[in-house]
Amino acid sequence: MNCSPVLAVLVCVFCVSSAQPAADEITSLPGVSGPLSSRQYSGYLSASGTIKLHYWFVESERDPQNDPLVLWMNGGPGCSSLDGFLSELGPYQMNADGATLRANPFSWNQVANVIFLEAPAGVGFSYSDDKNYTTNDDETSKNNYLALLDFFTKFPNMASKPFFVTGESYGGVYVPTLSVRVMANASINFQGFAVGNGLLDRSLNQQTAVYYAYYHGILGEDVWAQLQKYCCTNGNCSFVTPPNAQCTQALATAQGIIFNSGLNPYDVTGNCAGGVPGTSTKRARKMFSYFFESLRMNPPQTKTMSWSFVSENVIPCINTTAETNYLNRPDVRMALHIPDVVPKWTVCSQIPYQPQYNSMHNQFIALLPKHRGLVYNGDADIMCNYLGDQKFVAALNRKMVGNRRPWIYDHQVAGFVQDYDQVSFMTVKDAGHMVPSFKPGASLQMISNFLSNKPQ
């Protein structure tokens, strides 16, 4: 029996639409007036054992059938990618009332289909039936990979699209470790990866943070003189492994100024949400200590990182009250298909996490011969500062392509870029740790050019 061309097209359209999980589709979203800007899905992806990772998938607003597929992961470790959705690069952003959303004209799904994955289990709405949330870098990458495979099972129409893994902060570990696993699967059309303000090398990050602090006016001459006297020999400084007790004390003083003075380490040029800590100084210091400890060279191997010292999990100096209130509304949870057994959403969660890697050098070396990479840094961030990531990329010893140059957005210098064979390093001027939040237009141009393999 012959089918008419029109009928054939209708059948194909039906096949594409039916290849997506109807039960996961978001039909309406509280706080959004009118229809959604593109088709969206929220549900769970199976990983190992009883682990179920929550995802929020938004189709491209431009051309979902032909645009690439991007996975986005926030860091922590232990912080939710829904923060990235609602405050950085998603199609909607939170209004201060915690009840309504506004359209984001610079969302990354202007140019790509985007998956926001909450990982590992215990983060955000992700959970495990056995409630065992102890994990590490390798376990996290394995479960993220298994969840990705389940995503392609749910969305087979996405399996052949050019695929990119992206993330920020501790995503500097999540992205490369997952990418290595993805690279080994020939059935995935893996093209490349991008890391923003990433923890790519603990030693370089810790070493350069001291220089960053001094040359940004955070450390005074007295502290700098002590550091030079006790930590440096003939211009070579050791801020990672102090050579003597005096250096250890000088570094402790510097660390106290950077992290305990009320400065916003995610944006040294900006304010700290809620003001400089007063009566809550001890609590704030503990939170900063947690983050700093997770960034240190040679993290403790005998204990895991935990948020157990705080009753309300927050990111220091960042106001997430509105999105926390919104995501815990019953009607929002229902719209996102979150089971009642899943606990309250927090931006960062109390999971016992064991870091395993001091550097992502080997992962980058394995990835770059066949896959493109982008490392970008907001230059106002000291937590994962641009100096450390710049040195990390240079140490990959890829062939330099052209000279370091400014890149332009909206007729203004948006930062600087150095291209190498298969990888580029970019700074984003006046941006803090969460680049898409600070510079949404510039970040959209940046990721669009990267996905299309166009010069920045």
What is the Rg, in whole angstroms, of the alpha carbon atoms belonging to the chain? 22
**Please, how many CA atoms are within 13 Å of residue 241, restricted to the half-sphere of its CB?**
2
- Degrees, nearest 5: CA angle 88-126-150: 95
Strand partners, 406: 416
Instruction: Burial-class residue 100 by CB neighbours within 10 Å (0-12, 13-18, 19+).
Output: middle
Q: Of the listed 381, 389, 424, 443, which one is catalytic?
A: 381
Report how far apart, in Å, the C-alpha atoms of 134 and of each of 75, 77, 127, 173, 316 are. Answer: 16, 12, 12, 17, 23
The residues, ordered by sequence, that sit 6+ positions from 100 with a Cβ below 8 Å of its Cβ are 31, 32
The residues, ordered by sequence, that sit 6+ positions from 343 with a Cβ below 8 Å of its Cβ are 127
The residues, ordered by sequence, that sit 6+ positions from 147 with a Cβ below 8 Å of its Cβ are 45, 46, 47, 53, 55, 117, 119
CB of 258 closer than 8 Å to CB of 292: no
CB atoms within 10 A of CB 116: 26
CB of 115 closer than 8 Å to CB of 57: yes
Q: Is 419 a catalytic residue?
A: no
Q: Of the listed 60, 433, 437, 443, which one is catalytic?
A: 433
Helix (H) / strand (E) containing 427 = strand 423-428
**Beta strands 127-128; 40-46: pairing state:** unpaired
Q: Of the listed 107, 169, 179, 294, which one is catalytic?
A: 169
Instruction: Burial-class residue 305 by CB neighbours within 10 Å (0-12, 13-18, 19+).
Output: buried
Helix (H) / strand (E) containing 55 = strand 51-58
CB atoms within 10 A of CB 12: 10
CB atoms within 10 A of CB 63: 11
Structure tokens at 416: 């600087």
What backbone torsions phi and psi does residue 98 show, to the nearest 5 degrees?
70, 10
Q: Is 381 a catalytic residue?
A: yes
**Minimal CA–CA distance to 79: which of 309, 358, 406, 305?**
305
Q: Is 433 a catalytic residue?
A: yes
Report how far apart, in Å, the C-alpha atoms of 347 and of each of 100, 192, 304, 405 are. Answer: 18, 28, 19, 36
Instruction: Burial-class residue 244 by CB neighbours within 10 Å (0-12, 13-18, 19+).
Output: exposed
Just list the catalytic residues: 169, 381, 433
